[in-house]
Each structure stands twice: as structure tokens, then as C-alpha cells.
Amino acid sequence: MAGEKEWVSDAERPEGDGKLQYHIRCREGEIAETVLMPGDPDRVAKISSHWDEFSEKSSYREHVVHTGKFRGMDISACSTGAGGPSTSNALEELAAIGGKTFIRVGTTAALQKEIELGDLIISSGSVRFDGTSENYVHLGYPAVAHYEVVLALIEACERLNYRYHVGITATTASFFCGQNRPGHDGFRQTWHETRHKDLVAAKVLNYEQEAATLLTLASLFGLKAGAISVAIANRATDEFVYGGVDKCVLAGNEAAHIFHEWNCQRAAKGKKHWHPSI
């Protein structure tokens, strides 16, 4: 791993020898095509603990990277840290060295009262309040999950018998005011509450901070991505209990393997798109 004093590169796209990536500190050959992406660096170890084998490839800033085998398939996990900027850095660099399919494994706050704490939420798309994706493309461009990843996440939850919901997420650039929580010393703007009520009325399922960035960039770059999160809060009922992360981890791993199986089926049939009757 290159230390700070050793880093010499072009400024436009900083890379070291062997395409060593500036933020995630990984090279070509160290990343699988399928990557699970939790926000919390500590969650990477929770994910890889269920694999057949793994090794840590890097640990730098908010990015911890493990690569290994899960039921015979190659798989990686890379933490994003919180928010769009660090998520975009991770995705850019993972894609540069071979990543092709990305599944966010996160925590979230539900907006609809029927969603119970511990339920899993699969994002079919996300409202782009992330503050990062707009630096790539106009806000009229949708943040949409790839249908194959969404279906793999649904199938995983069904196999594991987990309660889950599928729908639109809202990705925000702020955990506090951006999600209609008071800022320091009770700071508020009237539009915080108005926007929150509008999202609830529009049947948006949840708040989080990374999905829109991941989904938008994946679509722009011709990659496949999806997101699953466990509800640790419900804003309609004003409840908060941190738990259920293990379920989300298991569902993410299961979905990655299901996607891998479907990808093999698609390739064997010479099809461009996977479909149920394949």
C-alpha cells in the first residue's frame, strides 16, 4: 500500500502502479466483479464473515475492502463511508479496476408507518437529494436500480423469509436538516418539513444517504446496481432501535449469489438480459 509521501501521479486521474486507486487503495486483480457496499467500514467484516474465505485488500480512510469466495463465486465488499461524495469515489475506483455489479447494504429510516423496525427496504429507485449525482448529470436523469439486482434482492428476502418492502427511496446529503430533523440548537427552515410531508405523500419509503449516488453513476457508466437497507428508525411512529443489520448482510450476500447464478444462466443461453423463463 502506497503511503502519502510515495504517491506520485497525474493530477487528472490519480493512480499508482498497477492502477492503484487513490481512495480505496486497491489494484487491478484485487476486486471481484460483484461488490457489496455498506456505509460503515465495520460492516465489511460482518459481510465477509459469511464467505468461504476472504482477505483484506485495503483499509484507508472510510474505505475497507475485503475480497474472497462465497459459495464458489468471487465477491468483494467495500465500505463507502457516509454520503454521496465518498460513495462516488468508491464506485469510480471500483469500476476502474473491474467492478461491474454493486449492491448497497445499509441502514435507513422508514417514512411510512406500516414499515416496522427491522424490515428490509429494497430501493427500486431514489429521489436525488444526494448533492453528488447532480455533478455528473442533470437532475432530470433518474436514479434507478437495475431490474436484475432488484429481483435478486427480492428473491433473497423470499428465500430467507424476511419482511421487506420495494419502492422509492429518498437519498439526502444531510442526516439532520436534510431529513427533517432539527439542526444544532433547534435550527429549522420551513421547507424542511414541507419537503418531508411531500415525500411521505408521494409514497417514498425511506431516507438514507448513498443510494441515489450509487444508482445514478452505475446507470451512467453501464454498470448494474441496487440497494437494500434495514429500517432502524420510523419517522412516522418516531421510533429508533439500531438492529437488524445481520439480516441485511445475509440478504445482500444471498442476493449476490442469486445474481451470479442468473448471470451464468444468461451467459449459457447467449442472452443479453436475464428473464424468468430463461
Q: Which pTM does this prediction carry?
A: 0.93
CA 238 vs. chain centroid, Å, equals 25
Residue 141: all three cell numbers together:
436523469
Residues 63 and 22 sit within 8 Å (Cβ to Cβ): no
Distance CA 72, CA 94 (A): 21
Q: Residue 4: its pLDDT value, please?
A: 53
Q: Residue 3: its pLDDT value, please?
A: 47
Q: Residue 1: its pLDDT value, please?
A: 44
One of 25, 192, 235, 260 is an active-site residue; which one? 235
* Active-site annotation holds for 27: no
Distance CA 176, CA 188 (A): 10
Distance CA 15, CA 8 (A): 8
SS3 127: strand
Q: Residue 20: its pLDDT value, please?
A: 83
One of 61, 181, 257, 266 is an active-site residue; which one? 181
Q: Residue 5: its pLDDT value, please?
A: 54
One of 23, 104, 128, 146 is an active-site residue; which one? 23
Domains and CATH numbers, the chain: 9-269 (3.40.50.1580)
Count helices and strands (H / E) in the chain: 6, 13
Q: Residue 8: its pLDDT value, please?
A: 74
One of 62, 93, 210, 254 is an active-site residue; which one? 93
Q: Which residues contact 29 (CB under 8 A, 6 or more apart)?
A: 18, 97, 98
* Active-site annotation holds for 23: yes
Q: Residue 194: its pLDDT value, please?
A: 96
* Active-site annotation holds for 181: yes
Q: For residue 36, which of 276, 210, 273 has the smallest C-alpha distance?
A: 210
Residues 152 and 195 sit within 8 Å (Cβ to Cβ): no
Q: Residue 236: its pLDDT value, please?
A: 96
Residue ranges in the chain modelled with pLDDT below 70: 1-5
